[in-house]
Chains A and B, each alone.
Chain A
Amino acid sequence: MNRVILSFYALLIAGLPLAGLINALGYSVGIGGPLATGFTTQYWQQLSTETSLLVSLAFSLYVAISSVGLALLIALALVLNRQRMLRRWPFPALLYVPLLFPSLVVAFYLFQLLSGSGWISRMVVALGLTQTPADFPNLIQDGAGLGIISAQVVMAFPLFTLLFDGLYTDARLDELRSLTRTLGASEGQFNRKVAAPILLRRAAPTLVLYAIAVLGAYDVPLLLGRNYPQMLSVFITARLQRFDLADLPMGYLIGFLLTVGLMIVIYRTTRWTQRHAL
């Protein structure tokens, strides 16, 4: 019975995705899809000339690392320096508020707030600092991905704060703080050498998975990003939705490689977590 249930589970969660990945691989070597002409490695060889893919990959990595890094720093600072504040009204409820927002709504809100004709720009006009939307600096759909990073940080740092706060209590860091202070360590030394390493080590799997989620984000870069450079999900989707069917094999190849790459990262993370469970 157990075997039947597990087979059904494997079929449900892995059946279609694996079949889809094999199909994508078939496209990429010319044996699948409407333009299948027989086995070829031409699309794999063309990969090295796909500069837009490399730019997209680099941009996605930059956004993921910057946003997770910034959110992590804010959350650590709040948990380590404002522990009592986080336990007082309104914080226990306030930190949950951003979790109510779908990423698409956060993107829409930031679009209305930060665009050239957005709310902040209107206030700046009212103050007499600018006159037209064009005078306002590009904070969204900009080359540096500031809008995307802002959205990801706004969504991530409350979650990380709640995560670190829970881990802080679980690890009895208040007791460790007293102990290290008794032994002569300063507040900063305790934060840097004791608390932060413990929190980061315990939260590592969640942080890696979150970074992967940001790397593959679609909603936010679709609204707040621009056509070049694009984040990976938007880049691949745009590639597969073009009218030119000749673009399909390369689109599927990139999707296949990205999935395999992320699977390796997740596999190593879960193995690491299983071996170093704290």
Chain B
Amino acid sequence: MRSNPVLTSILIGLFGLPLVLLALLATGQYWRFPDVLPPGYSLDALARVISAESDLGAGLLLSLGIATVVSVLSTGLGFVFSRAVARTRHPDRWVTLSYLPYALPPVLLAIVIQPFIIRLHLSGTVMGVGLGLLMITLPFCTLFFRSFWGNQASQYEQVSRTLGCTPTQALWRVLLPLARPLLVTCLFQTFLIAWFDFGLTNYLSVGKVRTLTVQVFLLVGEANSRLAAVASLLLLLPPSLLLWLNQRAIARRVI
């Protein structure tokens, strides 16, 4: 049960290597086979994030916007839905139903709903992509908040009502403060689900909604490793920030 320096070094190398290689790819110039290291370095590829010619800056803002809206909506609605589920006579049936979207891999979900997205005139729009992502994140949030609606929350609510709170006051002044840590964690996790998604977004966007993940794939297809590495590093920024803010929020991510 002693610490093993070799094992520690291997794990540090394994987890640190992606960052090193991505940084080398993003800053290395004229890095051709068989050079082990780039002959020169430049930050011009990173500067393209804020340049008007590049889609990367726009993709970053678009991804941030979609992930933020989806996470806020699904956390709020999931909180309400999970309360309704907890109050039914057969919550287990609703829990099973909530797992339905997980039977469909995201890209398959996109394939299945695409004909209706087209009929709703949402194909290739941010709204269409957002709706698709909500179908994954909403049941996640509902399942996530299931544990909150136990006896304790109900008792607190009943006491507050007995003491004269209106239902709205009980929600705002008792239940929401009580659920705050869970709400924050759920917000972080749904943000990451939406931020990381590629398959569903790529299929529903039909090339028009170019989020960062879609751009990474397109850049890899164009063999533009430098910009693909820059986009990849940008993709790591919000999760790193979230990790720094709240380690447990990321750790509890449900698969």
Binding site for B on A (CB under 8 A): 2, 5-6, 9-10, 12-14, 16-21, 23-24, 81-85, 88, 90-94, 96-106, 108-109, 111-113, 117, 119, 121-123, 125-126, 133, 154, 158-159, 162, 206, 209-210, 212-213, 215-219, 222-223, 232-233, 236-237, 240, 255, 258-259, 262-263, 265-267, 270-271, 274
Q: Are B101 and A17 in contact (CB under 8 A)?
A: yes
Interface status of B111 (Cβ within 8 A of chain A): yes
Contact of B170 with A by CB under 8 A = no
Instruction: For the complex, give the distance between the alpha carbons of A170 and B100 in Å.
Output: 29
Which of B8, B16, B35, B84 touches A9 (beta carbons < 8 Å)? B84
Beyond A108-B216, A265-B103, A274-B95, list 7 extra A-B contacts (CB 8 Å): A9-B94, A10-B97, A13-B142, A85-B1, A100-B250, A104-B235, A158-B15
Q: How distant is the Cα of A216 from the Cα of B105 in the complex, in angstroms?
A: 5
Q: Mark B141-166, 1 if CB is under 8 A from A, else 0.
A: 01000000000000000000000000
Task: From A82, A125, A217, A237, give the contact of B111 (CB < 8 A).
Answer: A237
Instruction: Return the contact of A266 from the options B1, B2, B81, B103 (Cβ within 8 A).
Output: B103
B-chain residues with CB within 8 Å of residue A216 when the two chains form the complex: 104-108
- Of B115, B198, B240, the residue contacting A100 (CB under 8 A) is B240
B15 to chain A, nearest CB (A): 4
Nearest residue, chain A, Cβ from B86: A2
A84 near B1 with CB under 8 A, answer yes
Cα–Cα distance between A6 and B82 once the two chains are bound (Å): 9
A209:B255 contact, CB within 8 angstroms: yes
Pick from A94, A119, A215, A218: contact of B12, CB under 8 Å:
A94
Separation of A219 and B195 alpha carbons in the complex (Å): 14
Please determine whether B239 and A99 come into contact, CB atoms closer than 8 angstroms.
yes
